[in-house]
Amino acid sequence: MSRSIFIAAALSFAALAAGAANAQERQAAQVHVSAKHVDFNNARETRGFYAKLNAAAQQVCTSEVSDPMTNMADAACEREAVSDAVKQIDAPQLSALHGHADQAVAYAERNTGSRHN
């Protein structure tokens, strides 16, 4: 399998939350995550790759500003970046793993009353 992807996230959500002055200074960021040697039929390799996707999304989406609105925007950016990457790769086991992660987040939000949208 010879696939690689770029996690690119326009940080518009975080930029809006951070205010107009910071919005003008922000630029879209990219992180290259290679799936070249990943066997998506191997659960361990799939989990490892999924962890790399999440780490890359966090790197791309984390703002220097820390307030509740920006933190929510960062989290939304991370979820969107990972979801987009999973769709690009289109590997059933990776999609299933991502689906379980999404369900866990939704469950936690329902039971804590927090919402990140």
pLDDT tens, position by position, 8-57:
543 333 344 444 434 444 456 788 889 989 999 999 999 999 999 999 99
Q: How confident is the model at residue 103 (pLDDT cuts 50, 70, 90)?
A: low
pTM for the model stands at 0.68
Domain extents in the chain = 4-112
Q: Quote the tokens at residue 45.
A: 């390799």
pLDDT tens, position by position, 54-99:
999 998 888 888 889 988 888 888 998 899 999 999 999 999 999 9
- Cβ-based neighbours of 64, under 8 Å, separated by 6 or more: none
